[in-house]
Each structure stands twice: as C-alpha cells, then as structure tokens.
C-alpha cells in the first residue's frame, strides 16, 4: 500500500509552483504539519532526502535549529567551497542534475 511513498518524486506539485488557492494552501500546510508531528521532520529528512543524496555520491550534513520566533528549521549542506563562484557553480550543477534547488550560504549562516 505504501510502496509508492518509498521514493521521492521529482515532479513539482501545485504547492511547489504556487498554483493553488489560499484555501488549498492552508489545507496542504495543515496536512504537512500533521504528518511532520507524527513522523518528525528530522526523521523524515534523514530517511528520504539524506539517503537519496548519499546514494547519488554526495556527503550531506544535516543541521537543525530554531529561528528568532522559535520555529524549527532544517538544512542539508552538500559541500564547502573556497570561494562563492565555485559554490554557485556547484549549486547550479546540483540543481540541474538532481532537480532539487540548492542555495549557496556562507559557512556559519543559513
């Protein structure tokens, strides 16, 4: 029954593209929050995204913390580069090859 959930989809959904009504957005967010409370965001990331990235040859590092409003956040770092241009090029290659958005951030910040 849950076999289809064992793989991550590479297709964007309406919530990813902005093609939704405010009511649909609120409904989706409510469902995601319920799943995240049940499964745990960190657990879900480690069981899906991190394993997918590792299988593709990357060495991801997982981070989590709280923002100024005590909201939980998560980040996955896939590399460290000596200059911004190298990092920007690597992020563009990662996004193109893996169909996942990569953002360049300085070490020590997210």
Q: Higher-confidence residue: 22 or 92? A: 92
Distance between CA atoms of residues 37 and 39, nearest Å: 6
Using one digit for the tens of pLDDT, what is the confidence trace for 26-37? 777 667 666 666
Is the pLDDT at 98 greater than 80, yes or no? yes
Tokens of 5: 């959930």
What ranges make up the beta strands (E) of the chain? 61-66, 72-77
Distance between CA atoms of residues 110 and 103, nearest Å: 9
Domain residue ranges of the chain, discontinuous segments joined by + = 56-110
Using one digit for the tens of pLDDT, what is the confidence trace for 6-52? 666 677 766 667 777 788 777 776 676 666 665 566 677 777 778 88
> Which of these, 102, 72, 104, 65, lies nearest to 86 by C-alpha position?
104
The alpha carbon dihedral of 43, 10, 100, 25 has a sign of negative
Is the pLDDT at 56 greater than 80, yes or no? yes
Distance between CA atoms of residues 83 and 107, nearest Å: 11
């Amino acid at each position: 029954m849950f076999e289809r959930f064992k793989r991550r989809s590479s297709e964007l959904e309406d919530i990813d593209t902005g093609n939704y009504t405010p009511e649909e957005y609120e409904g989706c967010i409510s469902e995601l929050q319920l799943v995240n409370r049940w499964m745990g965001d960190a657990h879900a990331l480690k069981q899906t995204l991190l394993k997918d990235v590792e299988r593709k040859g990357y060495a991801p590092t997982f981070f989590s913390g709280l923002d100024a409003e005590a909201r939980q956040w998560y980040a996955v770092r896939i590399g460290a580069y000596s200059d911004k241009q190298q990092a920007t090029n690597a992020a563009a290659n990662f996004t193109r090859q893996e169909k996942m958005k990569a953002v360049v951030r300085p070490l020590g910040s997210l």
